[in-house]
Structure 1
Amino acid sequence: MIRFIWKNWWRKKGTFIFLIIGVLLIAAGLFYLVGLSHATQTTIVDELQKRWQASYDIVVRPAGTRSITEKDNLLDPNFLSGLSGGISIEQYEQIKEIDGVDVAAPIAMIGYLLFSIDLQDLELEGNGIYRLVTEEINHIGIKEKKNVTTTYFSRGNDQVIQEKFIETNGHYFLGFPFETYFTTWNLLLAGIDPEQEANLVGLDQAMLSIGTSRYFTDDDISENILLNVEASETGEPEIYSSSIPVIVSSQTYTDYLANYKIEKLDLPFDDIETARETLAMVEEKGGEKYLNNVKGKIVQTFSYRDKEIYARLVNSLSGYDIETGEPYTENHLGYIDIPLLHKPSGLSYKSVTSPFPENWPYAYELEKVVYDQERNIEGFREQIDYDRQDDGQPIKIQPNWIGIYDPSKLNISKDPLSELPMETYRPATAELVIDENLKPINPPEVMNPEINPSSFLGNPPTMLTTLDAAALIAGEKPISAIRVKVAGVEELNEESQEKIEKVGAEIEEKTGLETDITLGSSPHLTLVHVPAINNNDALGWIQQPWIKLGSSITIFKEAKVGYSILIFCVIAVAIVYVWAMSLVSLLTRRKAFAVLLAVGWRPRQLSKLIFVEAGILGSMATIISWMMLGFVYLTEEVSVSVTRFLLIGFLSLIIYLIGAIIPALLVRNISPMEAIRSGEISITSKKFLKTSGIFSMAMNHFFGKWKRNVLSIVAIAMPASLLALFLYITISLRGTMYTTLLGQYVAMEVGPVHYTAVTVSLLIAILTTIEIMWQNISERTEEIALLKAIGWKNRSIRMLIWTEGILIGFGASLLAIVGTISILMTQYSQLETEILVSILFTGLIPITVALIASVIPAEKAASISPIEGLRGQYTNQKITENRIKRFIMLSFFLMIGIVIFLSILLFIK
């Protein structure tokens, strides 16, 4: 039987060559996809599993707080610090009771406390008018922002200054005399639920052992204290101050320096009369404008950095030195009742065209606001004032220090590939990447936050209190956002996504609040244009890692589904190829099989013959794939399990055996009577069109052999559909895989794997089409010879075969387009126009593939001469056949030896 198979192969050398090419293609394709590309797909999924988890799964916000950026599924990294209340305590309690909520940690951004901090005792030289020049230098990273202000004050003769203040209602060009210079400092106060915050980020474990520093307890209460107890008797408005427990951060993130210079002006001011005369003269000459030109003598200079100022504040508040832990007896706070002036406010953006869309698909511009109408001062955040008390005074806060925490010790995601906004403990990051003239800045310059609350990048809250205190101060709806962790979410998969979506939907249904699922999100580098304000130069284009919602789960789904589709498609196309190859072999040898039946062979022996042929070819593919994988394993040190090693080899054998099933069944239908007649599976053949030219003749041949041509159509349509799906995945992931930081990290070899699968499948489809068209031409040798005998030119013969190939390609194109759209519609309710256009363009690929596949058969048909065509004979030299036999046998035993050697090494290693 094997000798019979061998003779048949070598009698038709061309067919045998295609068989060997098919074996190599199937072996190489499975080796690459099942072996090497599995490592890539595993890497993607494993890295996503490692990095998908962030600090929280869902963020809950007040209704109506979504911004323009969220239409692109982008979450502004500054959004938490810009929310001022909106969620009630009752809604918070409802969320905690929802089934599946493990942690619900609220954050209430209360507002900015204005501290007065004494810095320096003044060393002045007697009575006189003094000039104070303050130079504030804010190192924002990309440059120094300097602000120089000049003010004037007096020493001595206070009675005269008081008279002037009364006359001008406090609007005098000289400030009130003081002995100690002080500065004001804004700190953002936020409220938390101590228990939930400890569960979410481990805040209780981040407390520092300084003095009596501790975490919140149930004994820490908040209350309003009446400051003017006599108000009930006098009928004056009552003035309250809210006494609240606070913990403060050990870190500040700004880089600020203030230089102070005090000059004594050369103006007489010794006694009251002299002072009155001098002030009258100054007023007459223009007041402050005149003083700006008066020479002065420097009497004192001093400088303070932001960290020194902050340390004085915290040391005075706590009674301990935060550097040494020793008791701190000095008090540099100007007053104990701290005014709460402004609420936090968010940034506003408008969508703009990105100057470099290839690198930054999304770009926005900050909208500036005038937050000080009187002085026409611009910023990027509105100044929203708290309502004042009945007597017109601001809300007052008495912060009772109970502890200090270190944000660096918190249990929050510090992975730049998956971190979420945690503005409670760290500022948002930004880099200047393009200047105002659209010139790239390389390397990018990192920006630091500013101390100004209206700036683009601000400091996070450095003082935390309880949720009870937030409700006492801010009213019924103090909570700005709630960060939720869902119970039972341990892995990145569809089940986790569904569980979190269910919890999010229930939160929205029960509370009416808005939710964003942050599971599997990743930073997405986004451009933000910072325009010019206050007559300063524009900064240019800032790059910020915004949050692309759901990017990890998108990549995860596409990676797993895409990989499964790849393997399935390649195997399916390979099976179709083997099926077509066996069927063509059956058709070619139909008469021979009929003769074998006539001389006594049983039908089951013919079926066995088909399976033996498939087994030999499958074994060759198995050995080749094992050799390839073993070579790569030894040279590249790629880890391959024994199970996968065996699977890759036996999969090749299984493909060939499955592909042989239908031909093995069809061969049983052959009758010995067919030894004296010819035909296909169906003996009769009908013409569908009147033959009037090349196209109609090609159509009749196409439909006359429709069963075998359907194999070619399916073989081409499957990889074409795969390519269309891959293009969709590429387009849909363009905003996540290649523009999010996590996507860039795991993208690595996804493209090459997919394109390799498509290429292998299309090559196998080309072989399938060549096999079938080759058989068609073999059966029509006499017909083609007759056409040439009556005057047909070679180009006409080629055009006939090419037309048949184009018809096959057109059928495959329709099937591929319909199949692709059907698959996508089952997954997505609607498809974007650009995706539909790309799918339609992929319809040209099957036509091109079929046309390429028809080239070799067309050349064979054109080479048929009228005489040789009518003979229909096959020849082969005996010497050449024997030489090739020896070469094949030697190569076979060599491959077996290499496989055994590599297998031994695999088990040892």
Structure 2
Amino acid sequence: MIKMAWKRIFNRKMHSMAAILAMAGIFTIVPLGLYVAKESKLTVEETISQYGRGSYDILVRPAGARTPIEKKLGVVEENYIGDGSGGISIAEWEEIKKHKDIEIAAPVASLGYFAGNRTSVGLPLLEHPARFTWRFFTSDGLNKYPIGEPNVVTYFEGKPMEYVEYYAPRNSTVGFMGIRMPQNYYLLVAIDAESEGKLTGIDFSGLNRKIETGSQEYMIIQGLLEGRGNVPVIPVLKRSDLNIPLYLSLTVEELDISLSEYKKRFGVKPDEPIFAVDPELEQDLLEALNEEPALSRKQYDIDLSSFQGPFDGTYVELTNDFQVVKGEGGPLANDTAIYYTASKIQYDIGDDLIRVAKVKDEQPPLYKEVKQQGKSFLEDFDAPFMLWQMGTFTPLSKKDELTSSPLGIYSTEEVKTMDGTTLTPTISPGSFIAAPAAGVTTLEAARIIKGEKPIDAIRIRVAGIQSYDQEAQKKIEKVATDLLKKGYEVDIVAGSSFKKLEMDVEGIGRVTSPWTTLGVAQSLTSRWNAVTLTMTVLLALFGLLYLSSRLLYERNALSEENKILLTLGWQKNKISLRNRLEQQICLTIAFMIGILILFISPFNTNRSIYLAPFFLWLISLGSAWILLNRNSKPVPGGTAYKKWASIFYYRKLIIPIMLVLTFSVILIVIQAAVIFSSILEARRTSLGAFTMDAAAFFHASALIITLLLTILSVSEAMNAILNERKAEFQMYHAIGWTRNTIRRHFGKEVSAWAGASMAAAGAMSLAILPLLNISIGWILASYSCALILFMILLTTMVCKKI
């Protein structure tokens, strides 16, 4: 019997070869698809395990601290601490530190925007009398905003190294040969130097520096304190790499005036300074000087930004050619007990855009409500404290990190306009850009300034975690749950990543701003786990369906031959045995070819890849034994059908191909929609983009394999039905039908049953894909592509074969 099966295989060389190759393709492509789905999942998991953890794992804040934009979009600002109002006490932080699974608990408290030491810009001593008119400006990187009103000072004739008399309005910002800089304000935050150092790697030891008794610094501080009631000194470490956007617009006019003549004209004695003029004549003197005609005029726009850092105003001088140089000495004012606090920005979250409106249309504009706090030493000698700079700190150079653990105070991520212009915070506390901390102080200082519950957030690093895997996630979730039970606002930031959000800022236009998206790693992992499970199930079922359909085609094709053998005296069991042996031999040959292809493929190092074709082979042998042991029931020849007679007559051939086509469309739609939507969603964050890049080969391979599998299966199913009806089409031709007429006739049938299959596939895709959080847009787009693909494939086959 085996010999007869082999003989029949050889007698039908072309048919047998096509069948063996088709089945070998299934034995190869299905395992490859399963392997690629598995490997893409492993790639995602390994990438997240390696890169998914940032500097800390859990963000703890007071209850109710979550902002509306966090609730709606699941994102937090990089410098989210900037305008916090506190809510956690130092004692509560000490309690959190004691948790056995917490390695680091680093608190941070926003104290507000504080002024630093105030100094001046030294004007050059020119060889002639001159009138200087100036105005300071700040900038957000796009626009410049004036600070205060224009000021003017007139210098009379003089000699180098001598006192040169000048005149300016009373209470103006003018000192001897210099003009006082405007008051700038810088964000000050409080930290615990030890835990913050462990978390960030930054050296904050300067906060605890001892000032030597008798040193010049000690004497300056004591001198300031004696006139201020010995108030507490707030130690400050300033950030060394920040500069203040400050510009000076200066007009210099040469004058032809005489000091002696002006003294005589306004009744000032020759040995007295010009500003000793009678107060009632001050305005007349000022107007006379301002009306003096200029012999020449020059305009200078001077950038002071690179010289001005937070808290310690740097005295600078203008040379005679109006270049800026760092000066020596210079006046210094310390009025640091007055500060400002700002509210959180009220984002208008629309369906497609985030909008930021001005709170006050000032120069520069305010996008937050700003309130003055503290007292000025110039107005009240009972001011509560004095700031003093103890040194500097420098954040570590930022790597191109994939994860984002928003520390809340250090980020200098760029906010840009749509044309690429980089925006910066202004000197005002009300900028829409979340400013990084310009200085840090101690928690004790925070308690003096802010009260008993100064802490805005605690950044927690969980102990005993080496990589960000499933076990790590469970441990982090357990600690987070413990903290949540204590009433805190808790966010897991491990596995978070950067994301650019587009905002429409009033007065500036559209900008992109960096935010942190929480839970990116978890969503990537869960999304790809669902994708892998779905594709594994679909590929396995598709392989089984294809093999079963092919055996049904063979059974139908053998029905006439079986009748002849019965007529010749063969027993039914002998006929069934011969048919089963033939198919089992073909299946075995196809299985061996598939194994050989897998062996020489790049994936042969993974032994598990051979399990899928082995199980498919066993199942197909069992299916062949069952299906070919049952005779196909003949279709009654006398039944009349009003419509679609051919479809009903050949339904046993058409139903399998409809099932194959339905599954093919579903497979393509799900594969394409899941992959492309996952890539698009993932690319919105830096970790997601890197993860998708790492798994790009597997994603592309999965889609290509799916396309090959579906094209192969549908093509072979169509060939089977066309071969079965070959005699019918020859008869149509013999009675006078043209080839185009036959094509139209058969094309209508194909359109009917193929359309029904595709409609069913579309309905099933719409039922399955929303469970994977795939949008309707992606489903419809993928379905449309699959529809076009199979329409082209079926039309080509009809035109080519008929």
TM-score (norm 1): 0.67
CA-to-aligned-CA distance 1:75-134 (integer Å, 9 cap, x gap) = 3334332334344556656755667554332221101221233446788899x9996544
| 2:717 alignment partner in structure 1 | 769
Q: CA deviation at 1:57?
A: 3.0
CA-to-aligned-CA distance 1:563-602 (integer Å, 9 cap, x gap) = 4544553343233222322343344335558689639959
Does the CA-based 8 Å contact 1:578-1:656 persist in structure 2? no
**How far apart, in 2, do the equivalents of 1:660 and 1:210 lie?**
80
| 1:462 alignment partner in structure 2 | 438
**Alignment partner of 1:619 is 2:592:** yes
Q: Does 9-18 or 519-528 show the bigger shift?
A: 9-18
| 1:569 alignment partner in structure 2 | 538
Closer, same or farther in 2 for the Cα pair 1:423/1:79, shift >3 Å?
closer
Does the CA-based 8 Å contact 2:87-2:455 persist in structure 1? yes
**Alignment partner of 1:340 is 2:316:** no
| 2:416 alignment partner in structure 1 | 431
**Alignment partner of 1:816 is 2:761:** yes
Secondary structure, in 3 states, of the residue corresponding to 1:718? helix
Secondary structure, in 3 states, of the residue corresponding to 1:104? strand
Does the CA-based 8 Å contact 1:368-1:380 persist in structure 2? yes
**How far apart, in 2, do the equivalents of 1:284 and 1:78 lie?**
52
**Alignment partner of 1:249 is 2:239:** yes
**How far apart, in 2, do the equivalents of 1:448 and 1:12 lie?**
78
Structure 1: stretches of 5+ with no match in the other structure: 157-169, 215-225, 230-237, 317-328, 354-361, 435-443, 533-537, 634-639, 671-678, 864-909
| 2:217 alignment partner in structure 1 | none
Secondary structure, in 3 states, of the residue corresponding to 2:104? strand
**Alignment partner of 1:79 is 2:54:** no
CA-to-aligned-CA distance 1:150-172 (integer Å, 9 cap, x gap) = 4356999xxxxxxxxxxxxx995
Closer, same or farther in 2 for the Cα pair 1:850/1:181, shift >3 Å?
closer
Between the aligned residues of both structures, percent identity stands at: 19
**Alignment partner of 1:386 is 2:373:** yes
Secondary structure, in 3 states, of the residue corresponding to 1:736? helix
Closer, same or farther in 2 for the Cα pair 1:363/1:144, shift >3 Å?
same
Does the CA-based 8 Å contact 1:15-1:771 persist in structure 2? no
**Which of residues 387, 392, 395 in structure 2 aligns to 1:407?**
395
Secondary structure, in 3 states, of the residue corresponding to 2:502? strand
Q: CA deviation at 1:743?
A: 3.4
Q: CA deviation at 1:763?
A: 1.4
**Alignment partner of 1:364 is 2:354:** yes
Does the CA-based 8 Å contact 1:74-1:546 persist in structure 2? yes
**How far apart, in 2, do the equivalents of 1:508 and 1:729 lie?**
34
Closer, same or farther in 2 for the Cα pair 1:482/1:134, shift >3 Å?
farther
**Which of residues 636, 640, 646 in structure 2 aligns to 1:691?**
640
**Alignment partner of 1:659 is 2:658:** no
Does the CA-based 8 Å contact 1:577-1:767 persist in structure 2? no
Secondary structure, in 3 states, of the residue corresponding to 2:337? strand
**How far apart, in 1, do the equivalents of 2:66 and 2:611 lie?**
58
Q: Does 247-256 or 795-804 show the bigger shift?
A: 795-804
1:397 counterpart letter in structure 2: F
1:622 counterpart letter in structure 2: I
Q: CA deviation at 1:814?
A: 5.9
**How far apart, in 2, do the equivalents of 1:186 and 1:423 lie?**
19
1:663 counterpart letter in structure 2: A
Equivalent residues in 2 for 1:446-595, closer than 5 Å: 446-457=422-433, 459-487=435-463, 490-493=466-469, 496-497=472-473, 500=476, 503-504=479-480, 507-511=483-487, 513=489, 515-532=490-507, 538=508, 540-563=509-532, 565-589=534-558, 591-592=561-562
Does the CA-based 8 Å contact 2:237-2:440 persist in structure 1? yes
Secondary structure, in 3 states, of the residue corresponding to 1:116? coil
**How far apart, in 2, do the equivalents of 1:131 and 1:371 lie?**
32
**How far apart, in 1, do the equivalents of 2:747 and 2:364 lie?**
76
Secondary structure, in 3 states, of the residue corresponding to 1:555? helix
CA-to-aligned-CA distance 1:469-514 (integer Å, 9 cap, x gap) = 212211244223333334455544555556545654554453253x
Q: CA deviation at 1:759?
A: 1.0
Does the CA-based 8 Å contact 1:130-1:264 persist in structure 2? yes
| 2:318 alignment partner in structure 1 | none
1:752 counterpart letter in structure 2: A
Q: CA deviation at 1:518?
A: 2.8
CA-to-aligned-CA distance 1:298-334 (integer Å, 9 cap, x gap) = 9xx9988445444992999xxxxxxxxxxxx979752
Secondary structure, in 3 states, of the residue corresponding to 1:203? coil
Secondary structure, in 3 states, of the residue corresponding to 1:545? strand
Secondary structure, in 3 states, of the residue corresponding to 1:80? coil
CA-to-aligned-CA distance 1:878-905 (integer Å, 9 cap, x gap) = xxxxxxxxxxxxxxxxxxxxxxxxxxxx
**How far apart, in 1, do the equivalents of 2:277 and 2:137 lie?**
38
Equivalent residues in 2 for 1:665-680, closer than 5 Å: 665-667=626-628, 669=629, 680=632
**How far apart, in 2, do the equivalents of 1:182 and 1:248 lie?**
22
Q: CA deviation at 1:611?
A: 2.5
Q: CA deviation at 1:756?
A: 1.4
- Specify which structure has the bigger relative contact order, considering alpha-carbon pairs within 8 angstroms and separated by 6 or more residues: 2
CA-to-aligned-CA distance 1:795-829 (integer Å, 9 cap, x gap) = 7866675566456545644653554455446556x
CA-to-aligned-CA distance 1:198-247 (integer Å, 9 cap, x gap) = 3322334x658998799xxxxxxxxxxx9799xxxxxxxx9783433433
**How far apart, in 2, do the equivalents of 1:529 and 1:292 lie?**
46
**Alignment partner of 1:720 is 2:674:** no
Equivalent residues in 2 for 1:56-455, closer than 5 Å: 56-62=56-62, 63=64, 65-68=66-69, 71-89=72-90, 92=93, 96=97, 101-119=102-120, 133-134=133-134, 136=136, 150-152=150-152, 174=172, 182-183=180-181, 184-204=183-203, 241-254=231-244, 256=246, 258=248, 266=257, 270=263, 273-274=267-268, 280-281=280-281, 283=283, 291=290, 305-306=304-305, 308-310=307-309, 313=312, 333-335=332-334, 338-351=336-349, 363-370=353-360, 378-386=365-373, 388=375, 396-399=384-387, 404-408=392-396, 414-434=399-419, 444-455=420-431
Secondary structure, in 3 states, of the residue corresponding to 2:198? helix
Does the CA-based 8 Å contact 1:577-1:715 persist in structure 2? yes
CA-to-aligned-CA distance 1:354-382 (integer Å, 9 cap, x gap) = xxxxxxxx64343223276xxx7523343
**How far apart, in 2, do the equivalents of 1:459 and 1:289 lie?**
45
TM-score (norm 2): 0.75
Closer, same or farther in 2 for the Cα pair 1:339/1:516, shift >3 Å?
same
**How far apart, in 2, do the equivalents of 1:181 and 1:852 lie?**
81
Aligned length: 749
Equivalent residues in 2 for 1:703-742, closer than 5 Å: 705=652, 711-729=656-674, 732-733=677-678, 736-742=681-687
| 2:8 alignment partner in structure 1 | 8
**How far apart, in 1, do the equivalents of 2:474 and 2:616 lie?**
37
| 1:54 alignment partner in structure 2 | 54
| 1:643 alignment partner in structure 2 | 605
Q: CA deviation at 1:615?
A: 0.9
Secondary structure, in 3 states, of the residue corresponding to 1:379? coil
Secondary structure, in 3 states, of the residue corresponding to 1:528? strand
1:107 counterpart letter in structure 2: V
Closer, same or farther in 2 for the Cα pair 1:228/1:384, shift >3 Å?
same
2:487 counterpart letter in structure 1: T
Secondary structure, in 3 states, of the residue corresponding to 1:111? strand
Closer, same or farther in 2 for the Cα pair 1:209/1:420, shift >3 Å?
closer
Q: CA deviation at 1:345?
A: 4.0
CA-to-aligned-CA distance 1:833-874 (integer Å, 9 cap, x gap) = 5467568x56x95798489559758987xx7xxxxxxxxxxx
Equivalent residues in 2 for 1:626-637, closer than 5 Å: 626-627=599-600, 629=601
Closer, same or farther in 2 for the Cα pair 1:122/1:253, shift >3 Å?
closer
| 2:571 alignment partner in structure 1 | 598
**How far apart, in 2, do the equivalents of 1:95 and 1:711 lie?**
64
